[in-house]
Amino acid sequence: MTDTITAAASQSLLPTYARYPLTLVKGEGSWLWDDKGNKYLDFMSGIAVTNLGHAPKRIKEALVKQLDELWHVSNLFQIPNQADAAKLLTDNSCGDAVFFCNSGAEANEAAIKLTRRYQQLVAKNGRYEIITFEQSFHGRTLATLTATGQAKVKEGFAPLPEGFKTVPYNQIGALEEAVSDVTAAIMLELVQAEGGVHPADAAYIKQVVELCEREGILLIVDEIQTGIGRTGKLFAYEHYGIEPDIFTLAKGLGSGFPVGAMVAKEKLREGFTAGSHGSTFGGTPIATAVVKATLETIVGDGLSARAAEQGAYLIGQLREKLADAPFVQEVRGIGLIVGIQCAGPVANVLTEAQQRGLLVISAGPNVVRLLPNLLVTHEEIDEAVSLLAELLQASG
């Protein structure tokens, strides 16, 4: 057999993805190879998933060990890996209790459900509405796409669930005006990754926290793309000196293995009693073995701090090399999530970069997004920046 996908096989898939004409078959560290033997420098990381690079040895060893022992028993039984992974999360965060699931959308769905159930059955105030922000992205389930502040993901899915309100980002007046006596939570990303790599303003986040405390509103932070060391802290909320009531994780949490988590404060534990929520595959022995190994590696090896250092180097090099590029308007980001704002569409830049051995992704039509792994080297950064500078200098 060959790794190349046949045309007939492709026709068996629903066309939900605009796929590149590229079949990747092997990965190691920051590098990928296609079925023709071509080599690529990966600055996408599977969209912020392979934070430890491709096929990290320690994670592979933990996965293989668990595959030889036990795959699945369901959450009707005690699962030691799950408890250990949860303790690693709570020991290294402001959270106190964890719910494991399979994806970021499921983690955000759980956050929405916990918020409503806590407000209505524990706080007994009848609150149910979640306020989110324009250009946000929270998932593809009906509830999470409704929470998402982008019209394109909602097209054709009406009627959408009630109980969501969307306001402009980084504008406290608009947020205060949206709050009412049914507001249960404010849900936000501290870096709007899919929306263009826009970090939240620190003064604004302080105002949001004060508003939540004053009005008895829960704060949910979506860390699906920013968590697990990517921003230079284990979790992005640490940059802002805040403690959300709930934060959600996925992507880098499993180093490429599908897993998500919702982490909540102690007071919210009463909101999810036995039977109120669940997941057949959430927190399996396999998934949580990978979570344990990933967290132990990132925390134990200080990789969040390394991401901060490498991210500062990457942003510095980009700003230096692109300073006189007319097509480039701004380089922004935090840690190893970086956006290059351009004066026009960047689709051709992505295609040309791919053809020359560099994989990058967009964040909206006019932004090149860079998401290298946390172990990326200066040499790899230099190679990527050199090629991007050449392509962007010639664009526009």
pLDDT, tens digit (0-9, with 9 covering 90-100), for 21-52 = 999 999 999 999 999 999 999 999 999 999 99
Which has more confidence, 2 or 210?
210
Q: What is the CATH number of domain 7-27+36-55+302-393?
A: 3.90.1150.10
Q: Are 279 and 102 in contact (CB under 8 A)?
A: yes
State yes or no: pLDDT of 99 exceeds 70. Answer: yes
pLDDT digits (tens, 9 = 90+) for 53-94: 999 999 999 999 999 999 999 999 999 999 999 999 999 999
> For the chain, which residues make up each domain, given as ranges?
7-27+36-55+302-393, 57-300
Q: Are 237 and 221 in contact (CB under 8 A)?
A: yes
Q: How confident is the model at residue 11 (pLDDT cuts 50, 70, 90)?
A: confident
Residues of the chain with pLDDT > 70, as a percent, come to 98
User: Would you report the helix, strand and coil content of the chain in percent, each value rounded to 5?
Assistant: 40, 20, 40
Q: Are 125 and 185 in contact (CB under 8 A)?
A: no
Q: What angle do CA 313, 371, 359 make, to 5 degrees?
A: 110
Tokens 């983690």, located at residue: 107
pLDDT digits (tens, 9 = 90+) for 359-396: 999 999 999 999 999 999 999 999 999 999 999 999 87
Q: What is the rounded average pLDDT for all residues in the chain?
A: 96
Selection from 139, 99, 102 nearest residue 118 by Cα: 99
Q: How confident is the model at residue 4 (pLDDT cuts 50, 70, 90)?
A: low
Tokens 């097509």, located at residue: 327
Which strand ranges, in their side-by-side order, compose the sheet holding 129-133? Answer: 97-101, 260-264, 246-249, 218-222, 183-188, 129-133, 164-167
pLDDT digits (tens, 9 = 90+) for 265-305: 999 999 999 999 999 999 999 999 999 999 999 999 999 99
Paired tokens of 310: 């490498």
State yes or no: pLDDT of 9 exceeds 80. Answer: no
Distance CA 50, CA 60 (A): 13
State yes or no: pLDDT of 7 exceeds 80. Answer: no
Q: What is the CATH number of domain 57-300?
A: 3.40.640.10
